[in-house]
């Protein structure tokens, strides 16, 4: 793979290839942009098909974190790490500590956290070798699992989207199709159920879907049938690239918004959603709740402050929907413009200070 000219590279400040023979660690750390502050982003562990797939994933994810932090108004940059390996069979304390040492060598330019394939307990292990960890267990001074806060941010975001789209005062009576009933998807179902929404759900693990049927009176469908569910809202809370040439045509909803990162398979799928009259809540804006929460650990967790920040996701989305309409562009384009404007202002202020 050519790196500098690859579309995913996108002017990263730094990419680190990490290897530790003793523990078998092979990992990548990507720091996209530190204009607004140190790069914060999760550490994923996944059995990538090859190194190229791992590199592309870390680059795409870390760039997204820059925009997520900027749109959420955080004093943080964007970064991400991936460990190449199967979390079920290859994760050991030695490997996690070796990853911690790699993070420590970056001296605070990158702050790591939980992601797919890693748990808060893993970061207690990594913490033995680095100070630059957030999302730690409560007993270690952290705020624990960020997923309920991510779900709350998605809930506020969907409420804002329903207000913008239909003038709805709440999500009561709305029908939401939730894809993925993991940490975030499950909490989101709970919030939606409590708010009086009805649910259609899908998960590749049939037992999770069955539990949602029993707990939330949801209707379960097969994973491939969730896109065409007769719902008002589609909430992707599983994997990335789920909005693509095949699926966007199947959607019957008016709003798409959920926790998954990198939902658009390609940028033009955002335009396809717009042309079909579907309001898309850009992923990096609506799923920032967890980042807002773990970021707060650096200055001492303040529940009210975090609550206000997470509620702000709804207000930010309303601004984005409005400016997208005024400019006649897709919502993900307006969201990127908002994030880039904040980065541009910070760069200008830094240049003025240095002059």
Q: Residues in the site for ligand NAD, rule: CB under 6 A?
A: 116, 146-147, 150, 179-185, 202-205, 208, 223, 237-239, 259-261, 287, 290
Nearer to ligand NAD, 98 or 218 (CB): 218
Minimum distance, C-beta of residue 294 to ligand NAD, in the bound complex (Å): 8
Task: List alpha helices for 167-278, DSSP H.
Answer: 183-194, 206-216, 247-250, 268-275
Cβ-based nearer residue to ligand NAD, 205 or 249? 205
Task: Between 225 and 341, name the residue whose CB sits nearer to ligand NAD.
Answer: 225
Least separation, in Å, of the C-beta of 31 and ligand NAD?
Answer: 19
Any idea what DSSP says for residue 133? B
Q: Which residues are CB-neighbours of 310 under 8 A, at least 6 positions away?
A: 149, 152, 153, 156, 289, 292, 293
**Minimum CB–partner distance for residue 350 and ligand NAD (Å):** 28
Q: In whole angstroms, how close is the CB of 62 to ligand NAD at the nearest point?
A: 13
Q: How far apart are CA 62 and CA 78, in angstroms?
A: 5
DSSP string, 268-332: HHHHHHHHTTPEE--HHHHT-HHHHHHHGGGT---HHHHHHHHHHHHHHHHHHHHHHHHHT--HH
CA nearest neighbour of 283 among 253, 317, 308: 317
Measured between alpha carbons, how far is residue 46 from residues 53, 84, 90 in Å?
10, 6, 10
Our CB check for ligand NAD shows the closer of 143 and 147 to be 147
Closest residue (Cβ) to ligand NAD? 182
d(CA 68, CA 222): 31
Is 211 considered catalytic here? Answer: no
Catalytic residue, from 26, 68, 80, 91: name it: 80
Rg (CA), the chain: 20
To ligand NAD, the closest distance from the beta carbon of 151 in angstroms equals 8
Identify which of residues 209 and 338 has a Cβ nearer to ligand NAD in the complex: 209
User: In this structure, what token pair is assigned to residue 184?
Assistant: 């975030």
Residues identified as active-site: 80
């Amino acid at each position: 793979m050519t790196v500098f000219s690859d579309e995913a590279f996108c002017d990263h400040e730094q990419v680190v290839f990490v290897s530790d023979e003793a523990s078998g660690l092979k990992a990548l750390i990507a720091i996209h942009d530190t204009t607004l502050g140190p790069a914060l982003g999760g550490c994923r562990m996944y059995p990538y098909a090859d190194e190229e797939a791992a590199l592309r994933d870390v680059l795409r994810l870390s760039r997204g974190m820059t925009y997520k932090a900027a749109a959420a108004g955080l004093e943080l940059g964007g970064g991400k790490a991936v460990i190449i390996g199967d979390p079920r069979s290859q994760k050991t304390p030695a490997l996690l500590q070796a990853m911690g040492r790699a993070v420590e060598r970056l001296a605070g330019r990158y702050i790591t956290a939980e992601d797919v394939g890693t748990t808060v307990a893993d970061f207690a292990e990594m913490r033995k070798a680095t100070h630059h960890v957030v999302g730690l267990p409560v007993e270690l001074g952290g705020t624990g699992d960020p997923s309920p806060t991510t779900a709350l941010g998605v809930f506020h975001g969907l409420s804002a989207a329903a207000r913008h789209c239909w003038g709805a005062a709440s999500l009561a009576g709305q029908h939401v199709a939730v894809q993925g009933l993991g940490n975030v998807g499950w909490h989101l179902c709970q919030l939606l159920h409590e708010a009086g929404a009805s649910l259609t759900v899908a998960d590749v693990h049939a037992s999770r879907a069955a539990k949602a049927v029993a707990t939330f009176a949801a209707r379960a469908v097969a994973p491939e049938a969730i896109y065409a569910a007769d719902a008002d809202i589609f909430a992707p809370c599983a994997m990335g690239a789920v909005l693509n040439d095949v699926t966007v045509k199947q959607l019957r909803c008016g709003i798409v918004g959920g926790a998954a990162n990198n939902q658009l398979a390609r940028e033009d799928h955002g335009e396809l959603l717009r042309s079909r009259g579907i309001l898309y809540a850009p992923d990096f804006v609506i799923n920032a709740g967890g980042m807002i929460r773990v970021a707060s650990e650096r200055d001492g967790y303040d529940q009210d402050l975090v609550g206000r920040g997470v509620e702000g996701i709804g207000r930010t989305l309303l601004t984005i929907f409005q400016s997208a309409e005024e400019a006649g562009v897709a919502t993900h384009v307006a969201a990127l413009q908002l994030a880039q404007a904040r980065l541009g202002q910070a760069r200008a202020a830094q240049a003025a200070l240095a002059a």
